[in-house]
Amino acid sequence: MRITSLGTILIILCAGCKSQELAPKQLLDLVNSAASKIENGFYTLHNNYYRSVNGEDTVFKNSITQCRFRKNAVERSVGLQLYSGRDDKYQQLFDGRNYYSLTPWNQTLEVSSVITSPEKLNDLKSNYTIYPFFKYINDGLQYYNTDSMIGRVIVTSEEIFRGEKCYKVETLTRKGKNKMKSRQYYYISAKTFLPVRNYVTFEDSTGKAKEVQVFDVWIDEIKFDIPSSDGFLKSSLGNYNREVSADLPEDKPASLLAIGNEAPDWELPLLDGTKLKLSGLLGKIVIMDFWYKSCLPCQKQMTSLQVLHEKYKDRPVVFIGINTKDDPIRDNLSAFLTNRGITMLSVYQGMKIEAGYHVTASPALFVIDKTGKIVYNLNGYSDKLIEDLKKVIDKLI
């Protein structure tokens, strides 16, 4: 990691201290002092994500973002002008009055004024892809820097990270009721006392599926004392075809195809290679569940539906999972469902029928009566799903 020209900002932060003798509170105080004194600079942000599920697949994603920031005297809540440009050309800019986000895939610049949308300021400070990484991490660490919380901070070791000695710090979270296990680590430069890495792991299980997720975010090529403000002008952004205001009232969200409508017929492939046609199920109650693999609420919904599938398996009730995005071979859908104990029917290529049912997000659920009419729909997951759906089905039987 290369750090240049800190000036006099960080001189004699810990004179006379031996690094191995730093207590958690002492270290967090030094981090707070170092992070609060940085007023301008730029760095490269590396954002890595890894996900692995036994017997299924692994996912690795990474992005690189160039970030810069500069003290801003106009607006004091954030106190900085901000810019970030990701390697896929997605850009964000806060010039002190307006927040801009440019999405290259639709060539659209979205603009939000902090005068008419002051809540955007809080959003900026909680967004580490544009707000200075070490300030963002410091805000999180200072949550633990109290008499009641400092006991949850452990300085575990000193490690060399990208050529520089760092303190490795772990923050302990309270144990929850769910099975998910998480661990969170921070790497603090022993030279500057700035946070340079955040490493978080999650482990969870659903049925036989054991899932591990890793979020590894770190920065390098850090430089300070940038004199020019040219990089914080709207004109410095890339090309776009249209500009829209994020402050205008949002359009009413699209509703699912309404109750009382005839359910549009469809024919989609099952995972066993055969095909299933909706019109072939007339005379039965059909529950259609739109889902895709990486949607966590979808997984909650399908496991709830599996309970009802078992309950009504000897009745004229058919539960169908409709996968909207995933490839059955590449994404190993059979293993995904087997590991979660899902035995109800599953079809794929569901994106072909989403428009007909006005589905724009998952999960989405429909109940179709024996005549082929929609009698119930649900946009999103509900904790009362089993209870509500059982009442609907019992009335129809």
CATH at 340: 3.40.30.10
* Cα–Cα distance measured from residue 139 to residue 315, given in angstroms and rounded to the nearest whole number: 56
pLDDT (0 to 100) of residue 2: 45
Structure tokens at 252: 């009413």
Residue 259 located in a structural domain: no
* Cα–Cα distance measured from residue 142 to residue 145, given in angstroms and rounded to the nearest whole number: 5
**Residues 281 and 133 both lie in one domain:** no
Residue 260 located in a structural domain: no
Contact 276, 284 (CB under 8 A): no
* Cα–Cα distance measured from residue 39 to residue 83, given in angstroms and rounded to the nearest whole number: 14
**Residues 61 and 149 both lie in one domain:** yes
**Residues 119 and 206 both lie in one domain:** yes
Residue 106 located in a structural domain: yes
Question: How many domains does the chain fold into?
Answer: 2
Please write down the HEC assignment for all residues of 177-214: CCCCEEEEEEEEECCCCCEEEEEEEEEEEECCEEEEEE
**Residues 298 and 344 both lie in one domain:** yes
68 versus 9: which is more confidently predicted?
68
Residue 251 located in a structural domain: no
Q: What is the mean pLDDT of the chain?
A: 88
Q: Confidence class of residue 252 from pLDDT cuts 50, 70 and 90?
A: very low
Residue 231 located in a structural domain: yes
CATH number at residue 44: 2.50.20.10
Mean pLDDT score, 158-180: 85
**Residues 114 and 229 both lie in one domain:** yes
**Residues 139 and 39 both lie in one domain:** yes
**Residues 20 and 108 both lie in one domain:** yes
Residue 253 located in a structural domain: no
Q: What percent of the chain has pLDDT over 70?
A: 89
Mapping DSSP to helix (H, G, I), strand (E, B) and coil, where does residue 386 land?
A: helix
* Cα–Cα distance measured from residue 300 to residue 177, given in angstroms and rounded to the nearest whole number: 16
> Residue 108 belongs to what domain range?
3-245
Contact 237, 111 (CB under 8 A): no
Among 16-30, 78-92, 220-234, 325-339, the least confident range: 16-30
Contact 116, 246 (CB under 8 A): no
158 versus 4: which is more confidently predicted?
158
- Domain termination site, one of 245, 279, 309: 245
**Residues 166 and 227 both lie in one domain:** yes
pLDDT in tens, 180-209: 789 999 999 999 999 999 999 999 887 788
Helices (H), 85-152: 119-125, 133-142
Residue 306 located in a structural domain: yes
**Residues 239 and 356 both lie in one domain:** no
What are the residues whose beta carbons fall under 8 Å from the beta carbon of 202, sequence distance 6 or more?
Answer: 180, 181, 182, 211, 212, 213, 214
Mapping DSSP to helix (H, G, I), strand (E, B) and coil, where does residue 321 land?
A: strand
pLDDT (0 to 100) of residue 247: 66
pLDDT (0 to 100) of residue 5: 44
The pLDDT of residue 249 is above 70: no
Residue 240 located in a structural domain: yes
pLDDT (0 to 100) of residue 243: 85
* Cα–Cα distance measured from residue 124 to residue 373, given in angstroms and rounded to the nearest whole number: 46
Torsion of CA 240, 243, 249, 252, to 10 degrees: -40
pLDDT (0 to 100) of residue 253: 45
